[in-house]
Structure 1
Amino acid sequence: MKSFRSFLPRPQAPRQLVCFPHAGGAASAFRGWAELVGPTTEVVAVQYPGRQDRFGDPLPENIPSLARWIADEIEPRLIRPTAFFGHSMGATVAFEVARRLQPRFPSRLARLYVSACDAPPAHHRRTTDFADEEIRDYVRSLGGAGAALLEDDDLWQLSLPALRNDFRMIETYRYLAAAPLTCPVTAIAGDTDASVSLADVQRWQELTIGPFDAVVQPGGHFYFDDSAAGLAELFRDDSRWPVPARIVEV
């Protein structure tokens, strides 16, 4: 399928984890995760248009339209228990995909993990009308492995259109109240992330009637670059993400 990449296919695994990248990010951010979570889970990464092997595809207009497209494409994959993990902008995209799928497949989404992102009702409207070098400095300030790549001028020029478009989508995103999710939600914050606090992520509790917990990981905005093993421990914990004996068709 056009929007998804599995770097270590495990079609027989009893469950799958679908990962949504941050602004400017790509599916390759999750390349090594399959080895970390183990053989019971297939890791599937979303590839947004306009980057890497989708460089020539038109950039999405806004987060809701991107979420509708992903939701339509992901339907055939929902044949086993599935969890979503979204980081930063990806958390908002994952949430919008989940709320579109829930009415049709209420038992298929096992858990939503939202990482380093304020809850949509408390969405911080940060201006993104920056000059190119201001964007570069902001991305650099967030840290993470991806920021180091921006020191390559050619790579920076290639990545700038998608990054600027992602920033525009974040700035123009407006949460519209609707029925809450029914799946469990785990919100994750880095303990030294200056851009998103634990209090910010705790407000995700307002968006589900299912179980909720908030988890702090050591590190900044891209905490998993240094502590991915700790994050993988959450994914491997069956008490958080049970594998049901069967899936109830609706």
Structure 2
Amino acid sequence: MADTKSAGAWIRRFHATDEASVRLLCLPHAGGSATYYFPVSRALAPAIEVVAVQYPGRQDRRAEPCVEDIRALADAIVAELPAWSDRPLALFGHSMGATIAYEVARRMEAGGTPPVGVFASGRRAPSVARTESVHLRDDDGVVSALKELSGTEDRLLGDEELLRMILPAVRSDYKAVETYRHDGGPELSGPLCVLVGDSDPVTSIEDARAWQQHTTGSFRLEVLPGGHFYLNAQAAAVQRTIVAQLGDWAALPTAS
């Protein structure tokens, strides 16, 4: 469970620790929730403190209106970060979360408190535009998209009551990410590590490589076996990458 510091807020902490020298803020995929990153938090504690964003419209925030705009989500998350500024902060976002992490990092840099680095997983570069309209499909169409990506357990996809509960948030998230367009503003100056599955049906390796143009800092592309949710089966490899990169980044001077 999240501790009292994060209760009722946008950010959840599952394993509080005083030993960590760096904190990793994780941003979920479309339809995802903070608890998706509970296993990552458990695995990396106490050396790295993992916290996760809880978007409105799901789990304990289910009664709140969903936010259908990437930039509005980024603004709201950045507003929460001063409470978590007692140690260096890195960002990890998967799929939609990668785009939000990018926008959060841009705001952090503009505000003079840059992250030590950004992990962008399972998402094409912001400048690579695609016309998509999953959010305009009927419920069966949205479920079909979820099944294609295999991001939701079969048990959940087969439970009509649970599906009715999550579909509004899923549709809202798809709208947010499908209507997002890169504005061509200042790019990142800090390090960027991009991860992608080698058989991802919606993010090609070249689309992932295109992230390189979005930072003047160091860039690394890691391709792992699997589809869009490669990180489920490749959890250990992803965690090793996180630990290694944070070890490097924490020793690097941050932009001012």
* TM-score grouping bracket, smaller chain normalisation: over 0.9
Deviation per CA, 1:181-238: give whole Å up to 9, x if none.
1110011110111111110111111110000011011111001111100000011115
Give the drift of 1:35.
2.8
CA distance in 1: counterparts of 2:231 and 2:252, whole angstroms: 31
Name which of 194, 201, 210 aligns with 2:208. 201
Give the drift of 1:75.
2.4
TM-score, with structure 2 as normaliser: 0.91
- Aligned residue for 2:217? 210
Name which of 112, 115, 129 aligns with 1:123. 129
State the AA in 1 paired with 2:50: V
Q: Does 1:144 align with 2:138?
A: no
- Aligned residue for 1:134? 141
Give the drift of 1:38.
4.1
Shifted more, 4-13 versus 79-88: the winner is 4-13
Q: Does 1:37 align with 2:70?
A: no
Deviation per CA, 1:114-147: give whole Å up to 9, x if none.
0110111113221222110011011011113545
Change (3 A) 1:3 1:244: same
Deviation per CA, 1:76-100: give whole Å up to 9, x if none.
2122121101000000111111101
Give the drift of 1:178.
1.2
TM-score, with structure 1 as normaliser: 0.93
CA distance in 1: counterparts of 2:117 and 2:249, whole angstroms: 9
8 Å contact kept, 2:17–2:45: no
> Hey, which bits of structure 1, 4+ residues long, moved more than 6 A?
245-248
Q: Does 1:80 align with 2:87?
A: yes
- Aligned residue for 2:3? none
- Aligned residue for 2:172? 165
- Aligned residue for 2:12? 5
- Aligned residue for 1:114? 120
Give the drift of 1:164.
0.7
Q: CA RMSD in A?
A: 1.9
Shifted more, 110-119 versus 97-106: the winner is 97-106
Q: Does 1:15 align with 2:13?
A: no
**Runs of 5+ consecutive residues of structure 2 not aligned to the other structure:** 1-5
**Runs of 5+ consecutive residues of structure 1 not aligned to the other structure:** none
Aligned partner of residue 182 in structure 1, secondary structure: coil
CA distance in 2: counterparts of 1:145 and 1:162, whole angstroms: 13
